[in-house]
Structures are given as C-alpha cells and as structure tokens.
Amino acid sequence: EDDAQTWAAPLAMNHGAFSIPPGESLTVSFDCAFGSEWNVLYTLGHLHEWGTSIKLEQLHGDAVTTVFDVAEWEPEYRDAPPTFRYQPGEYVLPADATLRTTCSWFNDTDTPIAFPHEMCVSVAMVYPQTTAAICDYDPAAP
C-alpha cells in the first residue's frame, strides 16, 4: 500500500427494481451520475440467462456516446461478459457526465422473474478512486 501511487476502484450501477412478466419482453433504462472525473480502465455489463441485450451510454451536455453495446447477450456472458478495455487516458469520464444503462430480457418461463434471479448491472474500473462507487437505482426514490 505504501508504494501505490494511483488507486483504482470499481464503479457499479445496478437496477434491482424490475419484474419481467412471464412470456414477455422487458426493457429498462436508468441513469447514474457520480460527480467525479475518472479515467476508465474497463467497462462491462452483467445480465443472467434471460438477458437479450445491454448498453451503456455516456450523456454529456447534448452528446450521447455509446460506451458499450452488447446487442445479442449470450447466456455464457453471465460469468464471462464481453469486457471493453481502455488504455490510461483513453476514456476520461467527465465529472458532469451521466451514465445510462439499458437492459432487455425475454422471460420464457411461466412465472415473473426479478432481482436477484435476473440482473441489470454495468461495471467499470476507474481511477483515481480509493473506494467503490455504487449507484443502486431505485425508481421509487425522490
């Protein structure tokens, strides 16, 4: 620890307040703002086997930039998702930017599926940051 010059930490964005009706598709989007400028080392998404797609976008002023877009989610991505890597300084997240995660699913069962059996999570590793930064989206929050 004494030799560390720059600390990195995870950035996690989670939406756990959804329910996918039986035999139906569902898409949800949610926004997270952190108020810190960070260098991003990598990003990835996390869904389970009912996931069909996941996208992360950066909203900054009038600009919307796609950070990653996995248009066809595969069940094996649950434990080994596509990871989008950046060289130091290649992707700088502005302090006044918002990150939007969009997840889609298809429920082929006869019962509703909700968190934690299915998930909608975006993750990044950012620096300089010493502790995890977490946005746990709650649509009921004021």
What are the backbone dihedrals phi and psi of residue 25, each rounded to the nearest 5 degrees, phi first? -95, 155
Query: In this predicted structure, what is the pLDDT of residue 2?
Result: 81
| DSSP string computed for 83-94 | EEE--TTTSEE-
pTM as predicted: 0.93
pLDDT at residue 142 in the model? 64
Q: What is the mean pLDDT of each run of 10 residues along the chain (142 residues)?
A: 87 95 98 97 98 98 97 96 95 98 98 96 96 90 68
Q: What is the pLDDT of residue 44?
A: 98
Q: Cα–Cα distance between 25 and 27 in angstroms, integer?
A: 7
**Amino acid, res. 88:** P
- Residue 3 has a pLDDT of 85
